[in-house]
Structures are given as structure tokens and as C-alpha cells.
Structure 1
């Protein structure tokens, strides 16, 4: 049998302790290496930059009308005794459209003729008197005063004759005004007075749409009137034929709003096309380009690097964050408006930017729909 001394047992204890120590150290080293091998992945809250508006289309409906619409009325008052046209009838220059009773005007012509004849006789008599007064004055049988009186009488008589002649012309014109005539070719679009009605001077009786250029009139609210300008190209479609498309042009934009509807009248001229008829319903389409837009992000998303503003943008392919320089437009109650540096679709870290480092691994939230609403494109 072997006997072990105290020294031998102590030596074995030290050996075993050293062995267990080496094993523990190795295990500890493996644990630290394993811990270092695990990357830090930090969950983040993000906002998504909304896509910018590519533009919109303004669509308004209106009716085709003639550029020139004439509201016709008699130039003298009277009772209408005849209307010769109806709505839809075509007229040409010189056509008689309606008549009023011209009896009183014809009597006035007869009176004016009689007055003119009398004025002519008086002027003729005054002329003889002046001629005799001149002869007597030359022979010194009459005074200068008598000659002057004869001259004045002749001048007054000729003036009365001229006034009577003008009165005759005026009354003759009034007889002709008893007939309402068309002065341009067109189509009757409205009848405002009929036979038996007494109308005053200028009272609308008929409306005629003159032949020639046609246009579409639309009513535009004040929110969109700034998008219409004179000579602007406009596409015009028609309900009667979807294939009929014409290139119109803005001819006139009203300078003030209608007091009732608070809309502005816009007239769009149309090219000459026989398929376009008066009264047809037209659709006016105007393209409106989107204005340059900036992105709004929460204030917590803004960070600073070397005295310059930055945001941390998430690369979705590698799930890492990267700093990006931005240009701040201004500050709003809801956050920061960024003028440059962000694009639609970018994911911006919205909180905890002080913990971000370049190429840091991050974990995105499972549902970004609510977060995406935090950043919107604004004008």
C-alpha cells in the first residue's frame, strides 16, 4: 500500500485547483467571445416620407355658346304687332324679326313734312325781303338798321327750315325703327316679348347668337381660379361624343367673382368645327402641376453633426441607419419642415437619435402605417 504525505495531498489539491481554474477560464473566455459575437439590434420608431403629388386635373362643365350674343330690342317704344321668328330660326342681315305699331310715327312724319314745307316758304319769303332791303340800302332809300333786320329775319327763317328738315329725318328714322331687323347672321336663341306687349326703348325682345367663333363658359371657384390664365391651352370634350376632343384656349378670366355664387366666369374659345353646336354640354379639363414640396418630420427626428442638421435614415435592405444632411426650411408646431435631403419613401428615425451610430442595426416596427402618417408632404 502506498502512503501519501500531507505534502503530496496538498500538491494534488493545487493541481486539481489549477485544472478547474483553467477549465473555468476557458469557459469564461468562450462565453465572452460568444457575447461579443451577438450584434446589438436596437428597435426604432420611424416615419415614412409621403410621395409627392404628381399633379391634378381640374374638370368643369359648361355649355357651348356663341362668342357674340346679341340682345335685340326696338329703338323706339310701342306695341308689338308682329313677331316673325321663333327660337332656333336662322337669320341674316336685314331680316325683319318683329314690328311695332308705327301709326303714331307715321303721323309724326306727316307733321314734320308739313312743318318743313312751311319753313321753306318762310325762308323763301325772308330771302326776297333781304334782297329788296339790300337794293334799297344801296340806293340809300333805307337805313342800315332796316338791312340788318332783314338779314336777321332771313337767318332765322333758314335756321327754322333746317330744324324742320332734321325733325323730318328723325321722324322718318323712327318709322324705320318700328321694324326690328337683324344686323348679323345667327340663330335666334331666346324670345323675351311677344305680340300685343308694349315695350319700351331697348327692352329685350329677341336674343341672337351670331355666327362665328364659339366658346364654353364655366364657373370656377376662387380656390382654383389662380390656375387659369389668358391664352392657356385647355382640352375640351363633349358629352355627345367621347371621341370629340378639341384644343381650346382661355379667352377671358373674370376680374371679379359673381356676388351670388362667389365663382369666377372663365370663357374658353373653341376652334371652328361643324360638329360643335350651340347648347352642347362640354367638359373643360386643365392640368395643374404640383408645386415643389417639402417634408415634415417630428422635431425629435432632427439631430446635429458637426454643427449641421441631420436625420437618420433607415436602409431597409440592410436594416441599418445612416446619417443624412438636410436643409431645414422652418419649424412648425408639429415638427420640422425639411426643404432638401429627403425623398418620398425614406424611413426616418423619429425618436432616440442620440443612440444612433453609422451602420447601426435596427429593428423596424411590424406596423408602420400609423408611423407613416406622422410625416406628410406639404406645400
Structure 2
């Protein structure tokens, strides 16, 4: 058997121990370096300053605000046209969508029966005229005989009465003739004003009663805008003055106030104002328009972008104020009250100082206390 020397075994053990210590030290050093690197990254993230759009607050003691009141553009005149007497429709000369002029024929009734009655009335007039002529001759003869004393005055009176009755029969038959002529004339439906046919209720051959709507005519040349306004706003309007309205297309046009009803409607609690739409306007009846009215708001506040608002506590609104913190700013929520909203901007008052910068947009991408720097003002 080979005997190992005790001195060489101790040296090997010391070498292994030294290597182990070196490995432990190396591991601790690497861990320390990694930890310091992580802390450095964390510190870098904590002090990261992001650029944000901001604008300074400018308070006003009062401001001009614009209110919008919706209304409906309609034709000034719209008529459901029918015949004054019933009958059978012989012709309908127009259809839905046709533009017609004032006095243009639109439809006709069958007038054959009326034409026959008219001919009979003409014959009655001739008969009455002949009877009147005979009564006149008789009256003249009786006057001559009375003057000569051949007949009594009673005969003259009877001749005069016959003559008067004959003249009355002429007037009666003429009245019947004129009535039939008017009925025949009214059997042709004509346009009372220029416009567009928007509805047709009957076709040829249909029997209609007196006054039954056959066609609907809407005036196209004269349009008006009716708007319901609170009485306070209506009292500021002046008849004859021009006001601005906005259409759904974004187009704006000028209208003239024609009348204010001065009566508060029971349901809407508004006063109706009627405006004349210019004939040159390219707008159709039935379009919606919004009346634009400017007036003063007697409240101290400041204007801000609607994108600057964020929901605060208990249903209130807040804006982010940029508060100085060393060489940068931090975001601090400040409660505000909306006094008026107008499109993409709002008029506010709240815990924001005059001249202090506030975040204008991107409120959903930041958090309270976040370090920031302003990059724009507007």
C-alpha cells in the first residue's frame, strides 16, 4: 500500500478553500454590481421628466359666450289642395316632386254634368228674356190705353207686375248660369302659389268629396326658420335685424327676424321667434338650423380646452396644474367648476392661480405628481 504524506493533503485542502472563497467573493461582487445597476435604472425612471403641452391661465371678469338654439326651416306656406265640390277626377296633371308656378292647372274633375246644366241655364235665360220682352210690350200698350181712358189703372198695375216678374226671372236664371260657370271653373285645381308637389293622394277616376286633399303643395321660394327661445334671450332680439344660423353641413347664413310671438308656450316654456331665410340660400324645407346668439357672461373665470378636464372626486372636474419642483414641474390636480361649454372649449373657475400653467390635453396619459416640463403654450 502507498502511504500519502500528511503535508501534501493539507496543501490541497487549503487550495480548495481559497478557490471557494474567491468564488463567493466574485458572486457577491457581481450581485452588488447588478443591484447597483438596478437601483440606478430605478432612480433614472423616477426622475424621468416627460414633455407636456401647457398653457397659462388668463382670468377674465366677464366673457362673451355663444349659445346655440336649434330650429326647423320650413316653407312659409303649405297647402293641402282639394276641390270645393265633390266629383270624379278626370285628370291629374302633376306628380310628386314637380315644381309648379302660380295659377298652373294641377287636376280636373269630370264636368260633363255641369256643362249640361250650364246649357239648360242658358236656355232658361233666353226664355226669361222672351217673357220679359212680352211683358214690356204689354206694359207699354196698357200705358197707352190708360192714357186714352180705355182701361182702368188696375190693368196697368197688373202689366207692370208681370214685367217686373219677368225681369226678376232673367236675373235668377243669370245667377244660376254664373254659379254653374264658377263650379266648372273650380273643377280645375290650380296652384295658389309657386312651389313643389310633395304629396298626391288620388289618381284619375277616383271619386272625391268636397275639400278632400288631392295634392299637397309646399312653397319653395319663401322659407322661414322657427326657433324656440327662453324669454330672456328672446327679449334681446330686434325685429328686422339680421342674425347668424348654422346648418348641419357647417354652412352659415344670415337670416332676418320677422316676428316674435311674445307668448310662452306651455310645454316647452319658450317663446317662438320667426326668421326669414334668404331666397339665395341653398337649403331645403325640413332642414335643421341652429341660431347663434352671443351675450355677456358676468362671471370671473378663464377659458380652457375641453381636453384639459379630467374627472375629479365626487363627480367634480379637475385640471392638472404645473407646480414648480426644483428644475422641473409636477402635475397637481386642481378642482374647477364649468361655467359654460362651447364646442371644444370650456369657461372655468376654480383653484388655479392667474398665470399658472395647466395641462391642455393628454390627461389620460399622466398621473398626479408626475414630473413634467412644458413644451408649448397656446
Give the TM-score band, short-chain normalised: 0.5 to 0.7
CA drift of 1:89 comes to: 0.8
For residues 96-138 of structure 1, give each alpha carbon's deviation from its aligned partner in whole angstroms, at most 9, with x where no partner exists. 1122233442333233223222211221221121121112112
Q: Distance in 2 between matches of 1:189 and 1:252?
A: 27
Q: Pick closer, same or farther for the CA change 1:288–1:233 going to 2, 3 Å.
A: farther
Q: Distance in 1 between matches of 2:118 and 2:141?
A: 35
Q: Distance in 1 between matches of 2:199 and 2:266?
A: 25
CA drift of 1:170 comes to: 1.0
CA drift of 1:179 comes to: 0.9
Say if 2:194 is the partner of 1:177.
no
The residue aligned with 1:283 is: 290
188, 207, 215: which one aligns with 2:216: 207
Contact preservation (8 Å) 2:257, 2:274: yes
Contact preservation (8 Å) 2:86, 2:207: no
Q: Distance in 2 between matches of 1:165 and 1:84?
A: 32
Q: Distance in 2 between matches of 1:52 and 1:179?
A: 68
CA drift of 1:262 comes to: 5.2
Contact preservation (8 Å) 2:63, 2:299: no
Contact preservation (8 Å) 2:253, 2:281: no
Contact preservation (8 Å) 1:80, 1:199: no
- What is the TM-score normalised by the length of structure 1? 0.56
CA drift of 1:142 comes to: 1.3
Q: Distance in 1 between matches of 2:130 and 2:293?
A: 74
265, 272, 282: which one aligns with 1:265: 272
CA drift of 1:283 comes to: 2.3
The residue aligned with 2:196 is: 187
Say if 2:243 is the partner of 1:234.
yes
The residue aligned with 2:169 is: 160
Off by >6 Å, runs of 4+ in structure 1: none
Q: Pick closer, same or farther for the CA change 1:97–1:259 going to 2, 3 Å.
A: farther
Look up the SS of the partner of 1:256 in the other structure. strand
CA drift of 1:52 comes to: 5.6
Computed over aligned residues only, the root mean square deviation of the Cα atoms, in angstroms, reads: 3.3
Q: Distance in 1 between matches of 2:93 and 2:216?
A: 14
Q: Distance in 2 between matches of 1:188 and 1:174?
A: 24
239, 245, 252: which one aligns with 1:245: 252
Structure 2 gaps, min length 5: 1-58, 301-348, 351-378
The 5-angstrom pairing of residues 210-229 of structure 1 reads: 210-220=219-229, 224-229=233-238
Aligned residue pairs total: 245
The residue aligned with 1:118 is: 127
Say if 2:266 is the partner of 1:256.
no
Q: Distance in 1 between matches of 2:62 and 2:292?
A: 18
Look up the SS of the partner of 2:63 in the other structure. coil
CA drift of 1:80 comes to: 3.3
Look up the SS of the partner of 1:289 in the other structure. strand
